[in-house]
């Protein structure tokens, strides 16, 4: 998601919320800043050293400040903060006590760092006077140095060693989180600093105005891009996750130029699966037609926007397709642009501003004739769903076989859940099946301007098992108006399934779909396809429906398409509490993961079909 805040978080409202919180302690000042930014929830696990912060949260709640949601494990709290940001565009905030509380956060924070998620990470320290004395759970520079541990997975990382430092360090942390490339910032907070009298009676800075993405663009590069687009015979657009703000203008531009569009796995769900120009996902678990669009002889210009061009976005850095001299790379992050030294053109700047400017000038160049094509495509898009790309093993998408095929499961989820549904897919087989076979749907032909909440989310870069469980909880808590579905596996649920009780406690309408094959499926199939020893992938047979009921959730076992047909999926997604579907999928179906295997074997993906 972008740093551009939704309309309900504009400074006028957020400033009022923060000003209404009485500030006595330093911790109160911290909470007042969060309220100014419109943060509604903070996610974490309490403990003695972080208690002063929670006391301030409790005082602030009476004045419109955020309220705490208690995770069952700190990693889950960071995943929830990620999901909260994904659903709202707001800053995700997670907290933990000192020692193991802080170290438990690290995996979730590393995931946010790799996936460029703005996050504020608050961890406690023992009192400053006890540093070096062997205090319980001491994690200062003289103990287990948690500030040192967070150094490599944060954009900003510091110990607040005096109350007077809090305000300026907090401001720097928040602004760093929303600076490209986005990511988490970490403040280590000794408990005596949190309890100390606040140095000011109210926040001194209005940070809500400063976390917006800059509208600056490289105008010379924009003009060069326009010239290339006008001259191109057959441009192809590659949409990355960074296009959340720009996708409306970008798709309208594609329609004007009759340019084919593909997405990276990270951006699946930003473009309607049934858009007339959409050719599917290129990259990990992608579609052959997306490859063909990029490999076509007449595809003389490839415009990749908002993507880091990592392994998953390029199908293992395929030099014949995306990573080539035909490439124009458009991004707000210079770090991402550094990944494409072979590109014929780099365009640096805010993507919404870049594509708004390009669209306006291309319209002026092409005249009204192309506007007719825009209206015709828009009219076509309001009719029946018609997909312009093929799936691997297309027949299995609607297979009636028992046990149910994962492909058929994705078909039913695509077809029977409301168009506004947001899907969160976990690492492992569930993510692979979802990237290829799940087709989120809405009726946008051009996309909305401003923040677009993607219909599909996966923590692709760090690929933490269990991420989707926490992230879906965060999203469902933030947005009760939208159906949220977590697609996870039995391995991930065994690792992080305790967070289901958070959904129960919060009474969240949230549908958990568990692909249950009694295995770490991606490991199993990877070993088999690589000719490796078949070892270490087995999991016990678990009745997740029974386990979910024991936790207080509703649950159903699904063994066949008929079992699934008997369920009102749309109703279950709006059930007023979590529902778990224990889906006993066919364990022998091989997911579309060939590009990943080729990288593991030491070579890039080759040209050709799957």
Mean pLDDT by groups of 10 residues along the chain of 610 residues: 36 52 97 96 96 98 97 98 95 96 97 96 90 76 88 97 96 95 96 96 89 79 96 96 92 95 94 93 95 94 95 84 87 92 94 95 78 53 74 95 98 93 95 95 50 80 94 96 96 97 98 97 88 91 98 98 97 95 97 67 45
Cα angle for residues 527, 533, 539 (degrees, 5° grid) = 70
pLDDT at 526: 86
- What's the rounded Cα separation, in Å, for the pair 318 and 323? 6
Name residue, tokens 């199939």: 525
Among 406, 399, 445, which residue's Cα sits nearest to residue 429? 406
The answer to whether 228 and 345 are in contact (CB under 8 A) is: yes
Tokens of 81: 């903060």
Tokens of 205: 């800075």
- What's the rounded Cα separation, in Å, for the pair 349 and 331? 6
pLDDT at 605: 45
Where do the domains of the chain lie, and which CATH numbers do they carry? 7-209 (3.40.50.970), 219-381 (3.40.50.1220), 394-591 (3.40.50.970)
Angle between helices 467-478 and 74-88 (to 10 degrees): 50
Residues 6+ apart with CB under 8 A from 322: 238, 282, 294, 302, 304, 309, 313, 314, 315
- What's the rounded Cα separation, in Å, for the pair 165 and 159? 9
pLDDT at 308: 92
Q: Are strands 260-263 and 235-239 parallel, antiparallel or unpaired?
A: parallel
pTM value is: 0.91
Cα angle for residues 14, 102, 509 (degrees, 5° grid) = 55
CA 317 from chain centre, in angstroms, equals 22
Tokens of 436: 């290829």
Among 264, 252, 270, which residue's Cα sits nearest to residue 302? 264
- What's the rounded Cα separation, in Å, for the pair 304 and 28? 44
Task: Report phi then psi at 297, rounded to 5.
Answer: -60, -30
pLDDT at 209: 78
Using the 8-state DSSP alphabet, how is residue 538 labeled? B
> DSSP of 169-202, one letter per residue?
HHHHHHHHHTSSSP-EEEEEEEHHHHHSBPSSSS
pLDDT at 447: 45
- What's the rounded Cα separation, in Å, for the pair 316 and 595? 6
pLDDT at 7: 38
């Amino acid at each position: 998601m972008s740093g551009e805040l939704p309309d309900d978080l504009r400074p006028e409202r957020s400033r009022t919320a923060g000003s209404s919180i009485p500030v006595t302690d330093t911790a109160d000042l911290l909470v007042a800043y969060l309220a100014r930014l419109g943060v509604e929830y903070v996610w974490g696990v309490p403990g003695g050293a972080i208690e002063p912060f929670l006391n301030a949260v409790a005082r602030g709640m009476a004045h419109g400040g955020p309220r705490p949601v208690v995770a069952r494990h700190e990693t889950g709290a960071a995943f929830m903060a990620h999901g909260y940001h994904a659903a709202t565009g707001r800053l995700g905030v997670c907290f933990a006590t000192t020692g193991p509380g802080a170290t438990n956060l690290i995996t979730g924070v590393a995931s946010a760092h790799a996936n460029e998620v703005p996050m504020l990470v608050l961890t406690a320290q023992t009192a400053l006077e006890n540093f070096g004395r062997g205090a319980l759970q001491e994690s200062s520079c003289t103990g287990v140095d948690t500030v040192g541990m967070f150094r490599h997975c944060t954009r900003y990382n510091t110990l607040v060693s005096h109350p007077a430092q809090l305000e300026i360090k907090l401001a720097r942390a928040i602004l760093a989180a929303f600076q490209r490339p986005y990511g988490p910032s970490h403040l280590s907070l000794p408990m005596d600093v949190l309890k100390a009298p606040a140095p000011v009676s109210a926040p001194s800075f209005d940070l809500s105005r400063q976390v917006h993405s800059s509208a600056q663009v490289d105008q010379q590069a924009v003009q060069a891009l326009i010239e290339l687009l006008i001259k191109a015979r057959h441009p192809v657009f590659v949409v990355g996750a960074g296009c959340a703000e720009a996708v409306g203008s970008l798709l309208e531009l594609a329609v004007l130029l009759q340019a084919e569009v593909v997405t990276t796995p990270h951006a699946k769900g930003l473009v309607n699966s049934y858009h007339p120009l959409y050719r599917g996902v290129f990259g990990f678990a992608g579609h052959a037609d997306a490859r063909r669009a990029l490999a076509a002889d007449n595809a003389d210009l490839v415009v990749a926007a908002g993507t880091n061009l990592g392994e998953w976005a390029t199908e293992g850095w395929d030099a014949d397709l995306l990573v080539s001299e035909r490439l124009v790379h458009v991004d707000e992050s210079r770090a991402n642009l550094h990944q494409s030294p072979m590109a014929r053109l780099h365009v640096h700047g805010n993507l919404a501003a870049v594509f708004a400017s390009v669209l306006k000038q291309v319209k002026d160049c092409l005249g009204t004739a192309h506007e007719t094509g825009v209206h015709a495509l828009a009219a076509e898009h309001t009719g029946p769903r018609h997909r312009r790309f093929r799936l691997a093993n297309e027949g299995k998408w609607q297979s009636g076989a028992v046990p149910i095929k994962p492909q058929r499961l994705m078909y039913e989820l695509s077809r029977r859940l409301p168009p506004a549904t947001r899907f969160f897919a976990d690492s492992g087989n569930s993510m692979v099946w979802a990237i290829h076979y799940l087709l989120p749907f809405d009726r946008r032909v051009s996309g909305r301007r401003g923040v677009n909440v993607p219909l599909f989310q996966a923590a692709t870069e760090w690929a933490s098992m269990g991420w989707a469980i926490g992230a879906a909880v965060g999203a469902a808590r933030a947005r009760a108006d939208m159906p949220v579905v977590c697609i996870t596996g039995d391995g991930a649920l065994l690792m992080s399934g305790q967070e289901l009780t958070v959904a129960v406690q919060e009474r969240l309408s949230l549908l958990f779909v568990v692909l249950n094959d009694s295995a770490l499926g991606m490991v199993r199939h990877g070993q088999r396809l690589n000719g490796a020893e078949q070892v270490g992938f087995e999991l016990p047979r678990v009745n997740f429906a029974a386990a979910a009921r024991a936790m207080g959730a509703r649950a159903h076992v699904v063994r066949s398409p008929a079992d699934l047909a008997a369920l009102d999926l749309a109703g279950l997604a709006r059930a007023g509490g979590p529902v778990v579907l224990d889906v006993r999928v066919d364990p022998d179906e091989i997911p579309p993961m060939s590009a990943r295997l080729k990288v593991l074997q030491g070579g890039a993906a080759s040209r050709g079909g799957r």
